[in-house]
Structure 1
Amino acid sequence: MAPQRFHEQFDQIQRSMPDVPLALGPDDSAEFIYEKGVVLARDGEEARLVEDSVRSHFTAAPDLSADHVRRASPETNRSGITRIQVGDPGQGDRRADLAVAHALRALREPEGRRGHRLVSRNHVVSIAVNSCPGDEPVPAPRTGGINPARAEAGHDPDTAVGVLVVDNGLTHDHTAAGPLLAHVRGDLHGTETDGDGNLLQYIGHGTFIAGLVAAVAPNTDITVRSSLNDAGAILESEFGERLFDAVEDGWPDIISLSAGTSNGRTDGLLGVQAFMEELRQQRTLLIAAAGNNASATPFWPAAYAALPDYRDVVLSVGALRGDGEFGACFSNHGPWVNAYAPGERLTSVLTGFEAPVPYVYQHTTYDACRYGFTYPCTCQSPQHSGVLSEDGESDTPDRVSFEGFAHWSGTSFATPVVAGLVAAHMTAHKETDPRVARQQLLAANTEFAEVRGAHVPALRPASWRPVTGGQPTAGA
């Protein structure tokens, strides 16, 4: 049977959050994942209004119960968000939660209108969106090097650009990669392998990203934070707080963020609004992945780049396919995406070089592109069978071994490429303001690609080599 990637992703994320019942939403289209039985509101008066409005709405409806409506997180936090329970999270299956849907409807009534949104689902923010990220990693030989190749530039601690990678941490042996990651520090993953010694899914995601930033912009000091869990996921209600934690020691020049969610709206995420408002007051540039749903639906936080108050604050990044001339099949797209960069079969460090680490594929590739593209995309190539399937588990999943380098695809990886380009521009032009560098880089760019029939800005590092048949083109 054809793989059901989004449902496989759901199961993976649910296993990483065993105490949080989750649902798919907003309906059978399953655009996003959210917490069952809970909605979000701002602390204080708005939370009380939401709680009272939902209770009144449920009391008046014969098929609803107000018994579960109560404050689920009374404590105040920096994100200014309160969780309000509106239903029994133990009821129903993973299909859309009707109690949450009715709670949202209650605040659409006239007495709930205050000129801005009062209530939201508690979405799951994740690197493992629809395409995990665009595929699963594939071992790459050490002799081939990384792609983009490491730029010929030195590291000057006095002028190095500070880059913060908000992700799922670093592999324990990342320093064995040598000079490439010499100026990378941060949090380690913790548990990296299962009971049989196999590398867990998404382990190495943060290390891979750090390697791409360092390759494009060697004059950087990179910090990787483990703000997401081992499946690269976190609830929206916690995400804003983790972002504040990540900048507790100071705001960097650039934040590279390869996670997010759609929410069916055009006004952002309630759970990160306080952080975004604080970000506006800083000089930090947020560079965020557009997501891998092959959709034009806004994906947050990247889509903040299209909101008037954040156009200079956020740079949203989509992915180009291996030839760099067209959009990758999985990449989100639309007017809210600022630029596109190579994001298919890039090569970077996954695990360090201390010893080979086995990996069992989780997802099965497709016979043809699930999005209808005809080039040999990551949906179908390289082919492998995964342990997850619509029927349970595959008896013959493919196994590989990683010894440092890997090929990997996704807007997750196009994003650090652009973060590196902004940082390199800052160094080359002695520009200390990353937001000014963003404007200058986009204004000076003369390269374009075609994405879904539109001509869009394409940011391709000089050291990047086009990829055909899964391997970088020699001499390109």
Structure 2
Amino acid sequence: MRRFAGTRPVPEVLAALGNRGASPNHLFGLDRIIWGELRPKPTNHTLDPVLAPDVPPLAGVIDTGVVLHEGRPHPYLGNRVVFDPEDTVRVVRGEDENPVGSAAHGTFVAGVLLKQVPPEVRVRMKGVIDEQSGELEDLAVANAIDELREEGITLINLSFSGATWEDEPPKAIEAALRRLPPDSVVVASAGNRASRHLVYPAGTKFEAKVPGSVDRSHVQVIAVGSADASQDSNKPLVADFSNYGPWVSAYADGVDVLGPYFRPGYPTRPAGYNGFAVWSGTSFSAAIVTGQIAAVMAKGGSAFEAAHAVLHPESAEEPVVVRVQDLNGEAPVPYVAGVREPGA
């Protein structure tokens, strides 16, 4: 095996490999987590911390890890997030002492997930995404998935995405997903490039024997895009930045989502951070869906059953959907609304 670190472009790596038999789909290029207008912004809102009982984690999050301040995670996460020392984040600071990179992404994702669930639900964090560059290795993700499986966790959140040269899933991640029990559910963000192009791991699908049916012999992978319900909560639209297409399983709130972010007064620029922020992106849409599934699981039942209940609620006479225009006309896609009330 020959390992390439850093951000060398695919043609350069292929040239270095020569005729060694490696093909481009072995390389997984992760989309940037913070870019363009998709940056955290200060807010006046806060969320009230709650104390969780000492119970096993119900959901797993594979992300940048947990930011610690004075040895403790964000007060909103409290004891509701379980992590090992290697799952914590080293905050990289610039010359002005403000954070550089995506270190707080994992804390924010975990907080958005926990906002959806009752106090007795806890989250297991696995930190594998680089806190400065936002990059990852597919083998690190695969190992984290295997470790969560060994811990008995059947609901996993993957709030990252990337494309491959040959439009094939990263092989290590795909293999790890195949090793999950069939009643497991993986929720993955669909990406923030306003594109139809397939990204992974959200685009990983396991073919069923009967076309159009659900393959119950493998994990269910739910690709989540972002919806904008700011104009009309009964008629949410696909957010301007969200990826879309027939491969997206559901849409959830993804514009100005409230979550925990560093601590009061930090970062100092722009001013106004109070320990929370509003942030937009499919990362947080995925966390909302994962949280809603975990909330149903807390009442009993498998992750697969809970996911079906969230995406296809039987109690709703006319469930709210996102109507997506496609080549074949308009298609309704399940919409999942997140908890929006500050303090909930």
TM-score tier, shorter chain, comes to: 0.7 to 0.9
Report the alpha carbon displacement of residue 409 of structure 1 after superposing the two structures with TM: 0.4
8 Å CA contact 1:294–1:330 kept in 2: the answer is yes
Mapped contact 2:60–2:124 kept (Cα < 8 A) = yes
Equivalence for 2:286: 415
Q: Post-superposition shift, 1:195?
A: 4.1
Counterpart amino acid of residue 316 in structure 1: A
- Which digits, 9 at most, give the CA deviation of each residue in 1:369-414, with x for residues without a partner? xxxxxxxxxxxxxxxxxxxxxxxxxxxxxx4453311010000000
Number of positions where the alignment pairs a residue of Structure 1 with one of Structure 2: 314
Secondary structure at the aligned position of 2:157 is classed as strand
Matched-pair contact (CA < 8 Å) for 1:264–1:298: no
1:232 and 2:134 matched: yes
The reply to whether residue 203 of structure 1 matches residue 103 of structure 2 is yes
Amino acid at match of 1:213: L
Q: Of residues 148, 155, 169 in structure 2, which corresponds to 1:247?
A: 148
1:123 equivalent in structure 2: 28
- The one-letter code matched in structure 1 to 2:333 is V
Q: Which residue identity is paired with 1:435?
A: F
Matched, 1:145 2:46: yes
Q: Contact conserved, 1:161 with 1:423, CA < 8 A, in 2? A: no
For residues 38-437 of structure 1, what are the structure 2 equivalents within 5 Å? 38=14, 69=18, 84=22, 120-126=25-31, 128=32, 132=35, 135-141=38-44, 144-146=45-47, 155-158=52-55, 162-173=58-69, 175=72, 177-178=74-75, 180-186=77-83, 187-218=87-118, 219-230=120-131, 231-236=133-138, 238-244=140-146, 246-247=147-148, 250-263=151-164, 265=166, 267-279=168-180, 281=181, 283-305=183-205, 307-308=207-208, 309=215, 313-323=220-230, 324=233, 325-353=236-264, 355-359=265-269, 399-400=270-271, 402-428=273-299, 430-431=300-301, 433-437=302-306
Task: Identify, as 1 or 2, the structure richer in helix.
Answer: 1
Change (3 A) 1:441 1:178: same
Structure index of larger Rg: 1
Gaps of 5+ in 1: 1-17, 24-33, 39-64, 72-82, 85-103, 105-118, 360-398, 466-471
| CA deviations over 1:49-107 (Å, ceiling 9, x no partner) | xxxxxxxxxxxxxxxx8x95365xxxxxxxxxxx84xxxxxxxxxxxxxxxxxxx5xxx
Tell me if structure 2 keeps the 8 A contact 1:21–1:35: no
CA shift at 1:437, angstroms?
1.2
CA contact (8 A) 2:188 2:202 kept: yes
- Higher RCO, Cα 8 Å, sep 6+: 2
1:154 CA displacement = 8.2
* Cα RMSD for the two superposed structures: 3.2
With over 3 angstroms needed to count, the CA separation of the structure-2 counterparts of 1:437 and 1:185, relative to structure 1, is same
**Helix, strand or coil at the partner of 1:300:** coil
8 Å CA contact retained: 1:161, 1:253: no
Runs of 4+ that moved beyond 6 A: none
With structure 1 as the length reference, what TM-score do the two structures score?
0.59
1:36 equivalent among 3, 8, 12: 12
Overall identity of the aligned pairs, in %: 22
Structure 1 distance, partners of 2:206, 2:37, is: 24
Native 8 Å contact 1:304 1:314 kept in 2: yes
SS in 1 for 2:75: helix
Compute the TM-score of the two structures, normalised by the length of structure 2.
0.79
Which residue number in structure 1 is paired with residue 211 of structure 2? none
In structure 2, runs of 5+ residues without a counterpart are: 209-214
